[in-house]
């Protein structure tokens, strides 16, 4: 929500350098946020965050499953 509000300040005409100074962020951070969240509203950003969290969880589950599978293959002596 805060990121969306910061980006909106710049979209309303405030200079990027002023926005960055006001919020204590670097211009690199601002442009990274703009690339990721630009044009989104708060609900879109929440959905994105939820999907990213779920994706990370699923990747961990897959990695654990692959590790278990590898261990079982090693125990059975299969290449």
- Check: CB of residue 62 under 8 Å from CB of residue 54: no
**Is pLDDT at 67 greater than 70 in this prediction?**
yes
Largest alpha-carbon pair distance within the chain?
66
User: What value does the mean pLDDT take over residues 5-29?
Assistant: 96
Distance between CA 52 and CA 35 in Å, rounded? 16
Over residues 22-47, the pLDDT tens digits come to 999 999 999 999 999 998 999 999 99
Alpha-helical runs (H) found in 1-79: 2-11, 16-23, 27-37, 42-76
Model-level pTM?
Answer: 0.66
- What residue ranges do the domains of the chain occupy? 1-39, 41-79
Q: Is the predicted pLDDT of residue 1 greater than 90, yes or no?
A: no
């Amino acid at each position: 929500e805060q990121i969306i509000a910061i980006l909106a300040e710049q979209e309303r005409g405030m200079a990027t350098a002023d926005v960055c100074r006001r919020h204590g962020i670097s211009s690199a951070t601002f442009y990274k946020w703009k690339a990721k969240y630009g044009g989104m509203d708060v609900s879109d950003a929440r959905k994105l965050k939820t999907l990213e969290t779920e994706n990370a969880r699923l990747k961990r589950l897959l990695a654990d499953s692959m590790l278990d599978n590898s261990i079982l293959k090693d125990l059975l002596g299969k290449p």
